[in-house]
Structure 1
Amino acid sequence: MRQKFSILIAFCLLCPTLARAQESDRAKAEFFEAKIRPALVAHCYECHSTKSGKARGSLKVDSRDGLLAGGDTGPAVVARSLEKSLLFKAITHDGDFQMPPKGKLPDDVIADIRKWILMGAPDPRVTEINPAVKTVIDVEKGREYWAYRPLVRPEPPSSPSSSWARTPIDQFTIAKLDEHKLKPVADAPPRLLVRRLYFVLTGLPPTPEEIENWTKRIETQPSEKAKQDALAELVDHLLESPQYGERWGRHWMDVARFAESTGGDQNNVFQHAWRYRDWVINAFNSDKPYDQFIREQIAGDLLPIANDQEWADNVIATGFLAVGTKIVGEEDQQKFFADLVDEQIDATTRAFLATSVACARCHDHKFDPIPQFDYYAIAGIFRSTETHYGLLKAQARQATTLLDLTGLGPPAGTPELNAEEYAALVKKRDDAAQEIADAMKKIRSGENVFRGLLRKYRSDRDETEAALQAYSNRGQPRVFAMGTQDRDLPLATRLLVRGELDKPAQSVPRGVLQVLSPRGKHSLPTVSKGSGRLDLANWIAWQQNPLTARVMSNRVWHWMFGRGLVRTVDDFGSTGDRPTHPELLDYLANRFIQNGWSTKRLIREIALSRTWELSTSFEEDNFAVDPDNQYLWRMHQRRLEGEAVRDAMLVVGGNLDPQRPLGTLLREVGEGNVGQNVFEPVIRAIDSNHRSVYLPRVRGVLPELLELFDAPDASLVAGSREQTSSPLQSLFLMNNPFVQRQAEGLAQLVANRPPSEQIEYAYLLALGRKPREEEKQLANSFMNDIGSARLSTQQKLTAYCQALICTTEFCSID
C-alpha cells in the first residue's frame, strides 16, 4: 500500500514538469511555423526542395531529415551549434558558400534562424508512413523453378554411342545427340586445337614455333591416351602463364562492369580503379577459390586477415562495389544514395546469381518470385555500407574520400617526385588557393564575381590539393584505393512504395532472398553487427545456394564455347533461356564445388573433353535438325573479342609489350569529368603496346578498335558480348594507322626469311597454318604483278600482310 502511495505522489509531482515540457515543445514548434518555415519557403525552396525538383549541393530543406542530413559539405543544421551548422554559415556569408546567392537575408530573419538553432532546431515536420505493402508472390511455388531447386548429382548417362565419349562431359553431350538423332563431327586436327587453346586460354596467338612443337608432340604420340596426355600438358602450361589471368580477368571485368569513370551525367574519371583490375587478374592467375573470390569482392574489408598486405588486397577487392555507374551530378543526396545502393544490388545479384533483383525496387518482381520486401532486405545491407570512390568536391556533387593503404603493401601507382617537382606542386596548390581567397575578398567587398569563374577556381584548388595529398612531404607517392567500409551503425530501412523516397512504408530487416534460402532463414539475426555484407557474401558463397555454382559453371562454359548451356548467362530467371543440358550443368556445378571452387580445374576438365575438341565442320543433316548447334554436334566458330584482335595484331607485328604497366594509363589526363576537365581526344590519343586489358576504360570513350568490335561500355553487367558485323570494322582494319603499323612489323619479320619462305611464314605468323596451293599462287601473283611496280617489294609485302590481318580467319577462333 505504501509503495502504491509513493508512486502516486511521484506521478503527481511529475505531471507539472511534463506539462511544462509539452508547452515548451509546442512553443518551439509554433516558433518554427511562424518564423522558420516561411523563411525557408521564401528563400530556399526554389533551389532545395522536392516540389521544385532541385537539390543544389545535394541539399533539401523541405523536411527535417533533409536538413539534418545536409548536402555535399555535411549537415545543414546541428542543434545548438552555430559553428557546425553550415546553413547558418551560408546565410551569414561566413565561408566559401553564400546563400541565397542573390543577396544576404534580412537581419531579422538571420536572427530568427540563429535563435532557432540555439534552441535545438525544433522541426515538427515528420514524414508520413504509408500502410505496409503486402506481396502477392507465392515464394513456395517459386522454389519449384529449375534454377531455384537444390543441385542434384546426376550420373553420367549411357547411350548407344557412349563409346565415343572420353570424359563424363562427353557422356552427357553424346546422350543428348543420340536423343535427337544427331552425329558429332570429326575431331579438330592438333594444329587447330593448339591455336584454339592459346586464344581461348590466353587471348594470344601461338608463335609458329609453338604451333610446330606442340602439334608434333601431340601427333607423334603412340596412342589416343598419350595424345590426350600431351594435350593436357599444353592446357596446364597455358593455365600457368600470366597471360591466362589477363585473358580470363578481362572476362570477369565484363561481368563486374569494370570501368575507369563514373559514366552518367558527368563521367568523372576514376584514377584508382586500376587496382581492382590488377586484383582480378592476380586472382585468376593464383586460381583463388571462387567462394573466396565472392567473399572478398563483397566483404573483403570484413574478413579475418594474417597481415597488412592481405587486408589491403581484400579492401581493393571490394572495389567491385565501387566501380559502377554513378550520377555524381545528382543534386538530391538521398536519391543518389538510393541509386547507388540499387546499382550495387543489381551488379551483385546479376554477377553472382544471374538474377535481376533490382527489378523489385518499385514493386514485386513481375516474373520471378522476388517480393519487393526482399529487395529492401538486401538494400538495408548496402545502405549500411560506405562506398569510397574518390573524385573532387568541386567537380562532382557526390564525391567521396578514398581508402588510404599507404605502407600496407600495395605498390604505388605513380613515380616519386624529386624536391623540385614537389615544390612546384606546392606552389601550384598555393596559387590556386590564393585565387579563390582573392575572389572571396572581392565578393565580401560587394564586387561581382562570375559564378563560372568561381567554380573554376574551386576546381583548380581541389585538383591541386588532391595532387599534393597524393604524396608525402618527401615526394613519395601514397597508396589509395576504391572500396567499401561498414558504417558505424546500420541504417534502418523502410520499403518505399513505388520506389519513391517520400513514400516510406514498413520497416524491413536486413536479409537475403527468400526463394534461395531455407524456409524462415532469410533475415539476418537482429544482433548481427556491422552492415551484414559478410553475411550476404557467405550466403552467396554457400555450397547449398542453388544458383552460385550453376551460374559460374555456365559462365566458364560460355567463355570456353562462345555460348553457355544457359544462353542468357546473366539471367537465370523465367525470362531467360532454359539450359539445353540441365543434367550436365548440375554435374559441372557439383564438380566445381568438389574441386575446391577451382576455376582452372573446371576449365581443364572442359578443355580435355572430346566435345570441346570437335572441329567446326558443317554437316547438312545435323544442321537440318539443329541449325543453332544447341546440342553441340560441332564446335562453334566465333569471332575474337576486340581485345584479342588487337593483342593478336601486336603479337604478329612483333610489338607486344607483355609487362603490366604501372598504375593507370589515365594518370596524365588528371582528375575531372570528360568534356570539362578531361577531354575525349586526349583519352583516345593514349596509345600503348601493352595488352588491351590495360587500356583506358572510360565509359563512353572506349578505344576505337574495342568499340567497333563490340566491347561493352560497362554500364551494366555483361557476361556475354554482342557480335555485330559492319562496314566500319573493315574500313578500320584497312585504314587505321595502328593496324598499318602492325602490318609493317609483320612484313619486317617476314622479310628476314628467304623469298621462297616468306609467304608461308606470313601465313604461319598470322593464321597459324601454311597457305594452300591456291593461296600461294595468288600471293606470288600479287608480289610479281607488274601493275603494282610503283610499290617496292617491302611495300607489297606490307600490303599483303595487312590483307592477312584483315581476313575473317585472323579475327576468328576455328
Structure 2
Amino acid sequence: MKKLISFALPSLLVLFFSCQEKTTTNNFLDGKDQVSYNFHVRPILSDKCFACHGPDANKREAGLRLDIADSAYATLKENPGRHGIVPGNPSDSEIYIRLTSDDPGERMPPVESNLSLNPDEIEIIKKWIEQGARYEPHWAFVKPQKQALPKVKHQKWPSNEIDYFILRQMESAGLKPNAEADKVGLLKRISLDLTGLPPLPEWIADFERDDSEEAYSNMIDQLLSKESFGEKMAALWMDISRYSDSYGYQDDNVRTQWPYRDWVIHAFNKNLPYDEFITWQLAGDLLPDKNKEKILATAFNRNHKYTEEGGVIEEEYRVEYVLDKTNTFSKGILGLTAECAQCHDHKYDPISQKEYFELFSFFNNTPEKGYEGDVMQSKPAKTPILWIEKEDIEEILKFINQQDSDRIMVSVMEELDSLRPTFILDRGLYDAPTDQVFPSTPLSVKAFDQNYPKNRLGLAQWTVSKDNPLTARVFVNLIWQEIFGQGIVKSTGDFGMQGDLPSHPELLDWLAVDFMENGWNIKRLLKQILSSATYRQSSVVDRKKLEKDPENTFLSRYSRLRLPAENIRDLVLASSGLLVNEIGGPSVKPYQPKGLWEASTSGRGELKTYQQDSGEKLYRRGLYTFIKLTSPPPMPIIFDGSNRDLCEVNRGRTNTPLQALVMLNDPLVLEASSYLANTLLKRKSDPSLAIEEAFLRIVCRYPKHQELKILEDYFKEEKIRFSKDMSQAASLIRVGNSASQTEEINEDLAAMMQVISLLYNLEETLMKI
C-alpha cells in the first residue's frame, strides 16, 4: 500500500513570492517588480517589529508605530530631526538605518529580543521604501471583490470557475494538473466528505454502471439529501461551538445541551442559509418572529464551561463566561484573535482594548449567573433556560430526538430588562473596571451601523452584512479546509496580521462573493467545490511534482487526508453493519478503558463513575459520543479530536503509534471485525467471495488480483493457527456487546475476523484519497 504523504499549504502566497521563500530567491527585487506591503512587507514587520512598534500603545517603544502610514512617516518623538520612514529614501529612514547598523546598541530588533531580519528581508524593506513605502489596508479587512476569471493555457481542463484560479497558478509554476481520479475512488471521496460514511457496495455497483454525464452530479445531490449530511457538518460546528455534555472544571457534572446539536443537524439538512444560521445562533431570542427553535439556536453562546465549585466569586465567573462568548464569536465566525485585546490593545491587529469590551458588551446583558450552587445542587441547564415540552417536539421542534416524555432543559440566551453597564477591565480583571463603553464593533473590520439595534441582533446584522469583509471569507475557508485539509488561509481562526496569507487570494474572494450572491447556500457551495476539476484530481504523487511543490501549494493533485476521528469510528461501524442510523438524541457512552474516567473526577455528582451504555447505544456515530470535559473520550483524542474546552476551528493530523494500537486492539474494531466476519460467512460459502465483499465494504473498491491473493493466503495461515488453539479464537470473537449473535466459534470465523481486522488497519481504509 502507498505510504501516507502528509502535506500542508504554505504560510504565504507563493505567487507573490512569500517571505518564507526570501532566503532562497530574490528574483522579484530586480528593479522591475513592485513590492507589496500586504504580501511582502507586513509579514516581516508583524513578525519582527510590531511587538514594540505596533497597535499596542502600552508596549510601544520610542513613540514609533509602523503599522500605520501616518505614524511611520511622522517625525520621531525622541529625535524630531528623524523620521521612521521617508518614502523613496531608505538612507534617511530610521527603520532602515537601524536594521543595517553595525552597532549592537543601535541595531533593530534589539539583541535581547532574539529576533533578526535576514539580508533578503532587509532588502525587501529597502526596496519597498525606494518604491514609495506605500501602505495597503490589511487584505482581510477589505471587502472582497469578484474579479474576472483569469486566463489559462489549458482551457479544456476547468470544470467550473474554481479551476481557472487554481490552474493559473499551476501554470505559472510550470505544473500540470493530475488526471481525474478513478470513478470508484471519487465516490468514496465525496461520500466521506458529504456524509462521513463509506459508500454502500450497491452504490458502488450502480455508480460504475451509470455512464451518463450527470452521474457524478446526481450522486453529489443524492448524498447532500441524506440526513447523514447534517451529521457530518455538525461535527465541524460542534468544535466551533465548543459543545460538550458536561460543565467542566473540577466536579464536571452532566448538562443537557444535546437538543442544540439536534438543531444544528436539522439546520444543515434543511440547508438553512448561513446568514440565518448565524443570526439565529447569535440572537434568535431577539428576532421579531422568535419561536422556540430560534431561541434553541442561541444555545451556541451557552456551551462554555461552568463552575459548580463552592466558594467561587460569582462575578469573576460571570465575566469569564461573557469573555468566552466574545472569543468564540470572534474566532469561530470572524476569524480573529480578538481575545488578545482583553488585557491590552492588540499587539498585531488594529483592535484596541476599548473595542474588545465594546464587542464584549453585546454578550454582557443577560441574566446569566456566575454561580448557581455546588455539584449537589446541580441542574442540567443554567439560567436562562429554555424548557422543551413534549408538545414542542410534536410541533415546532419535531427534529429533536426525545424518547421519553420528560421535558428538557437547555441553556439559552435572554436579554435583561435594563441595560447592564459594561466597562473596560484593567488588565482584563473582573474587579478592575475603568471607563464605561457601549456596544460597537472594531472599526478596522467595519463600522457598526447606527441603524442597527445595539444588542446581539444588531451584532448579527453587522456580522452577516454583505459589506462585512470577514464572515463569508471565513466560512468559505472553513469549508475549503474540510474538503482539502487546509484552508486557502491556513490559519483558519486568524485572518489578522499574524495569520497566514491566502494561497489563492482571488479565489477566496471570488468564492466569498459568490456565496453571498447565491443566498449563503451551503449545499450549493459544497457542490461547487466537489464539482471542480481541482477536487476530482487523482492523489498520485510523482517525483517531479513532489520536488517542485512538496506542500501541494498549487493543488496540482488531491492531497491524501486521514479521516477525522469521528469518521474513523463511523467507517468501522457502517462497513461492519453495526451502525445504528438514528439521527440526534442524547449522547451515548461507548466502550472505554476501565478507570480512565474515574481518575479525573472529583468523586461527586452524577458523572463520578463511567456507566457504559448497552445495546444500540453502543453503535451510534462518533458525533454522539458523550463529551466529558475533564475526561474526553480516548479514541477521538488519540485521533486528534477536539477536547471541546474552547472554540476550535481546525484540528491537527498526527501520526503516532497509539493510533495503530487503537485500530488493532480497540473493542469496537475487534467487535466490528467479528460481526462482519460472521455476517459474510453466513452468506458466502466461498471464503474468497467473503473476503472480496469485506474489501469492497471497508476499502470501498474492488480488490486487485494480487491483493485478493495476499488476503486469501493470510486467511489460510490464520485458519491453520486457530485450528491448533480454539481458545484463542474464542477470546477474540467474543469481544463486545454483539458477541451473543455469533452462534458458533470455529477457525473459519476467527481467520476471517483477522482478515477483516487487517483491512481496517490499512492506510487506504483510513484515508480520503
TM-score normalised by L of structure 2: 0.74
Residue identity in the other structure for 2:385:
L
Residue identity in the other structure for 1:291:
D
In structure 2, the gaps of 5 or more residues are 1-56, 70-134, 591-596, 727-746
CA distance in 1, matches of 2:181, 2:365: 54
Given the alignment of the two structures, is residue 145 of structure 1 paired with residue 145 of structure 2, yes or no? Answer: no
1:119 equivalent in structure 2: none
Q: CA deviation at 1:704?
A: 2.7
For the 8 Å contact 2:246–2:629, the answer to whether it is kept is yes
CA distance in 2, matches of 1:168, 1:734: 44
For the 8 Å contact 1:201–1:244, the answer to whether it is kept is yes
Over residues 423-467 of structure 1, what are the superposed CA-to-partner deviations in whole Å (9 max), with x where a residue is unaligned? Answer: xxxxxxxxxxxxxxxxxxxxxxxxxxxxxxxxxxxxxxxxxxxxx
For the 8 Å contact 2:426–2:432, the answer to whether it is kept is yes
Over residues 169-213 of structure 1, what are the superposed CA-to-partner deviations in whole Å (9 max), with x where a residue is unaligned? Answer: 000000010111111111101110001111110000011111111
For the 8 Å contact 2:146–2:513, the answer to whether it is kept is yes
1:317 equivalent in structure 2: 297
> Among residues 350, 358, 365, which one is paired with 2:339 in the alignment?
358
CA distance in 2, matches of 1:413, 1:150: 41
Over residues 657-688 of structure 1, what are the superposed CA-to-partner deviations in whole Å (9 max), with x where a residue is unaligned? Answer: 10125434479x9xx98641134651566752
For the 8 Å contact 2:318–2:371, the answer to whether it is kept is no
CA distance in 1, matches of 2:368, 2:544: 56
CA distance in 1, matches of 2:624, 2:372: 21
CA distance in 1, matches of 2:376, 2:465: 42
Q: 1:263 to 1:615 in 2, by over 3 A?
A: same
Q: 1:212 to 1:591 in 2, by over 3 A?
A: same
CA distance in 1, matches of 2:58, 2:370: 36
CA distance in 2, matches of 1:662, 1:507: 43
Q: CA deviation at 1:585?
A: 0.2
Given the alignment of the two structures, is residue 176 of structure 1 paired with residue 110 of structure 2, yes or no? Answer: no
TM-score normalised by L of structure 1: 0.70
For the 8 Å contact 2:146–2:510, the answer to whether it is kept is yes
Given the alignment of the two structures, is residue 708 of structure 1 paired with residue 695 of structure 2, yes or no? Answer: no
CA distance in 2, matches of 1:139, 1:540: 25
Over residues 459-480 of structure 1, what are the superposed CA-to-partner deviations in whole Å (9 max), with x where a residue is unaligned? Answer: xxxxxxxxxxxxxxxxx52242
Deviates more, 1:259-268 or 1:619-628: 259-268
Given the alignment of the two structures, is residue 345 of structure 1 paired with residue 326 of structure 2, yes or no? Answer: yes
CA distance in 1, matches of 2:749, 2:669: 16
> Among residues 737, 743, 758, which one is paired with 2:667 in the alignment?
737
Q: 1:294 to 1:401 in 2, by over 3 A?
A: closer
For the 8 Å contact 1:275–1:481, the answer to whether it is kept is yes
Q: 1:260 to 1:139 in 2, by over 3 A?
A: farther
Given the alignment of the two structures, is residue 215 of structure 1 paired with residue 208 of structure 2, yes or no? Answer: yes
SS for the counterpart of 2:184 is helix
2:221 equivalent in structure 1: 236
2:20 equivalent in structure 1: none
SS for the counterpart of 1:657 is coil
> Among residues 607, 616, 623, which one is paired with 1:693 in the alignment?
623
1:77 equivalent in structure 2: none
Q: 1:140 to 1:345 in 2, by over 3 A?
A: farther
> Among residues 750, 756, 761, which one is paired with 1:795 in the alignment?
750
Q: 1:679 to 1:232 in 2, by over 3 A?
A: same
For the 8 Å contact 1:322–1:387, the answer to whether it is kept is no
Pairing 1:185-334 to 2, within 5 Å after superposition: 185-217=178-210, 220-221=211-212, 226=213, 229-270=214-255, 272-305=256-289, 311-329=291-309, 331-334=312-315
Given the alignment of the two structures, is residue 374 of structure 1 paired with residue 304 of structure 2, yes or no? Answer: no
Given the alignment of the two structures, is residue 568 of structure 1 paired with residue 491 of structure 2, yes or no? Answer: yes
Deviates more, 1:743-752 or 1:260-269: 260-269
Q: CA deviation at 1:715?
A: 1.2
For the 8 Å contact 1:194–1:215, the answer to whether it is kept is no
1:813 equivalent in structure 2: 768
Pairing 1:46-65 to 2, within 5 Å after superposition: none
Given the alignment of the two structures, is residue 482 of structure 1 paired with residue 411 of structure 2, yes or no? Answer: yes
For the 8 Å contact 1:185–1:619, the answer to whether it is kept is no
Q: CA deviation at 1:388?
A: 7.9
Over residues 338-396 of structure 1, what are the superposed CA-to-partner deviations in whole Å (9 max), with x where a residue is unaligned? Answer: 11111000001111101011111110011111000101101222111234899755547
CA distance in 2, matches of 1:761, 1:499: 60
Q: 1:170 to 1:253 in 2, by over 3 A?
A: same
Given the alignment of the two structures, is residue 513 of structure 1 paired with residue 442 of structure 2, yes or no? Answer: yes
For the 8 Å contact 1:139–1:370, the answer to whether it is kept is no
Residue identity in the other structure for 1:811:
L
CA distance in 2, matches of 1:178, 1:254: 37
SS for the counterpart of 1:326 is coil
CA distance in 1, matches of 2:692, 2:203: 16
> Among residues 692, 716, 724, which one is paired with 2:654 in the alignment?
724
1:404 equivalent in structure 2: 387
CA distance in 1, matches of 2:424, 2:679: 65
1:542 equivalent in structure 2: 465
Residue identity in the other structure for 2:267:
A
Q: 1:235 to 1:600 in 2, by over 3 A?
A: same
2:102 equivalent in structure 1: none
In structure 1, the gaps of 5 or more residues are 1-132, 417-475
Residue identity in the other structure for 1:284:
F
1:467 equivalent in structure 2: none
Q: 1:413 to 1:550 in 2, by over 3 A?
A: closer
SS for the counterpart of 1:609 is coil
Q: 1:297 to 1:139 in 2, by over 3 A?
A: farther
For the 8 Å contact 1:139–1:514, the answer to whether it is kept is no
For the 8 Å contact 1:390–1:402, the answer to whether it is kept is no
Q: CA deviation at 1:143?
A: 7.7
For the 8 Å contact 2:58–2:345, the answer to whether it is kept is no
Q: CA deviation at 1:284?
A: 0.4
Q: 1:777 to 1:718 in 2, by over 3 A?
A: same
SS for the counterpart of 2:247 is coil
The aligned length equals 601
Q: 1:758 to 1:666 in 2, by over 3 A?
A: closer
Residue identity in the other structure for 2:232:
R
For the 8 Å contact 2:369–2:383, the answer to whether it is kept is yes
Pairing 1:536-685 to 2, within 5 Å after superposition: 536-660=459-583, 662-665=585-588, 675-679=603-607, 681-683=609-611
Over residues 314-339 of structure 1, what are the superposed CA-to-partner deviations in whole Å (9 max), with x where a residue is unaligned? Answer: 11100000001234437112211111
CA distance in 2, matches of 1:652, 1:692: 14
2:684 equivalent in structure 1: 753
Q: CA deviation at 1:134?
A: 8.8
CA distance in 2, matches of 1:562, 1:708: 18
CA distance in 2, matches of 1:413, 1:780: 44
Residue identity in the other structure for 1:505:
T
Q: 1:134 to 1:704 in 2, by over 3 A?
A: closer
2:24 equivalent in structure 1: none
Q: 1:191 to 1:497 in 2, by over 3 A?
A: same
CA distance in 1, matches of 2:532, 2:197: 22
Q: CA deviation at 1:700?
A: 3.1
For the 8 Å contact 1:269–1:674, the answer to whether it is kept is no
CA distance in 2, matches of 1:704, 1:134: 43
Q: CA deviation at 1:481?
A: 1.9
SS for the counterpart of 1:480 is strand
CA distance in 2, matches of 1:397, 1:364: 38
Measured on the aligned residues, the alpha-carbon RMSD in Å equals 2.7
SS for the counterpart of 1:264 is coil
Q: 1:357 to 1:747 in 2, by over 3 A?
A: same
SS for the counterpart of 1:486 is coil
